[in-house]
Structure 1
């Protein structure tokens, strides 16, 4: 039995060093990309002005877009608490109030708020969805609903195709053709 030739030690160190530098480069590139994405979203200032009233009872919600690009689909999410009169049971409801379709670069808006404001969602110029929590003043990236919807629709398409193929095989079998494959669950 012949001995296995593993190559030279410098070749192994070179391969490990190259792989490590590639991983470090990819990590840095991804970190910088996330930082650039967040930069535009962080330039949208959102605050509640409790001293000023929009009308007789609603506070003013102010938005100032200090970014160089517009933001889109600004929506205020409000939580409403109530109690059922008959049963005394408490319930909550999340309401969405569209505020602005587009907030231009450098624009400042004065919008009607609500006493039950929870968070504001918007999309930046790259169509990335963001959520700004009004109570904790935290900006977070929202999961991409379109991607989630696309994955779900793809899964259901695959399920429909599998069902269609199994039914076709069963029809062929009942007509005296080939044997049907077992249906996978």
Structure 2
């Protein structure tokens, strides 16, 4: 015996092609699932409306969120902050927004004697993924993987990729 019998070239080629086709199949499944998740999250529509005098301390910004998706969304909130500052979250009163429901919240324009701007909204989809809608260009940003099943009132950190634009 002179060494190890490595087999024939067709056997090696078929093994590599089979492994490659399995990897390609898993990639396509994962890509299609992400596309479906994004499509579901893109059906959540939000807009903001300034109310009152722009420079009055009592003025507010009304943020409206409508769930036109087929499944409920959870823990919606508004991302706001001062110019150049860190984003903070202002939660909606409702923790669950059922399909077809519309919720709104009023955010004060001045908080802690600082003028704030609305950056966007965030929510958890039915799968638990955290999404944010940026009001500067109305893009949809996915933040992280589904949260584990634990205390449902715990909120995640505000998404840093969203920019403050509405004053």
TM above 0.5, one fold?
A: yes
Q: 2:70 aligned with 1:63, yes or no?
A: no
TM-score by length of 2: 0.70
Which residue pairs with 1:106 in the alignment? 100
Q: 2:98 aligned with 1:96, yes or no?
A: no
2:138 and 2:144 map into 1 onto residues whose CA distance is 19
Q: How do residues 25-174 of structure 1 correspond to structure 2 at under 5 angstroms? A: 25-50=25-50, 53=51, 57-81=59-83, 92=85, 94-99=87-92, 100-113=94-107, 115=109, 116-144=117-145
SS in 1 for 2:85: strand
2:10 and 2:86 map into 1 onto residues whose CA distance is 65
Q: Which has the higher contact order (CA 8 A, sep 6+)?
A: 2
Greater C-alpha Rg: 1
**Contact 1:71/1:124 (CA < 8 Å) preserved in 2?**
yes
1:145 and 1:124 map into 2 onto residues whose CA distance is 9
TM-aligned CA deviation for residue 46 of structure 1: 1.0
TM-aligned CA deviation for residue 93 of structure 1: 5.0
**Contact 1:78/1:114 (CA < 8 Å) preserved in 2?**
no
The number of equivalent residue pairs is: 136
TM-aligned CA deviation for residue 2 of structure 1: 0.6
Q: 1:54 to 1:70 in 2, by over 3 A?
A: farther
List runs of 5+ in structure 1 lacking aligned partners: 82-90, 148-185
RMSD: 2.5
List runs of 5+ in structure 2 lacking aligned partners: 110-116, 149-167
